[in-house]
Chain A
């Protein structure tokens, strides 16, 4: 049975740790959790998840990252796994950039750091179905 997977992408390792821990304590082993520190590595992980027969259920990405930015990463991951829900988790984002991205791909939500756990859980819970 394919496992539903959450992919977390942020160039800040402690955000990844904190996020995964928060989600794992809430959802336990209902999901697999994968992390990556850049857009490029995130795409590698996304491809590997698909190739391994698992289902990429939701992607939560930072916006400003070295190399590939979050908006570009989400566009590409959408091509790779169109069914995956996309969430942007950002410390600061330009409103016009957000609008532009929303026109191209469906982003479930733009969460601001620091985020409310309940909001995050609701989004992830909905993606789990």
Chain B
């Protein structure tokens, strides 16, 4: 294409696009290959792969949950056949959406200030969707080469990475479900070589919701800046300080968001303190 000579009026952007498209159409007509069988052959191979993958997933799913006990609620490699029936009055279940919604789910955990809740639920997803729909109007340049579209490429990489990270974090978000944490207690006793006096405290620690914010020997999740408590005993804070802290956390650690556990009663707080002081880390 010859350089446009000076003085000649440059065609408008839309006219340039139309010319290019007309040229493309003519080129395809002249030099293109027929869709059938060339392109359709590739499509058919790919479709076969898709169907085979779907069937394989279904077979692996069924075989791994069914084999051990012939019980559909058993969790195989790809999850159970069904969960127990819906119980609207449950108080021990951890809801999760299907995996392709994990990025939205984790977004909700990020926006954890009450004033910002609607940003995580509606605000950010709506803005993202609007940007996605408006893309052809935001990017009107004619060039399609990735090397000549730096903004688009950077935006794409950022989007893919952030959605991937959000999905991964959503998938691995751990919960402090009392029944599940309790199963870790024997492991804790072994790892920490806990004396018998510390065991009632270990049980209380598992069910009182401590693992909602604290991590301990691989269990629990980290929330609101709560420290890991696996080695808390090695700081030798003493039983009295531990009890005082549990009764009124901000008196020992100013500004702490930890709630008071006073209502457990002094006897149980004492048991918890013994457990915490005995937790000197993996022996």
Chain B binds chain A: no
- The chain B residues found within 8 Å of chain A, CB to CB, are none
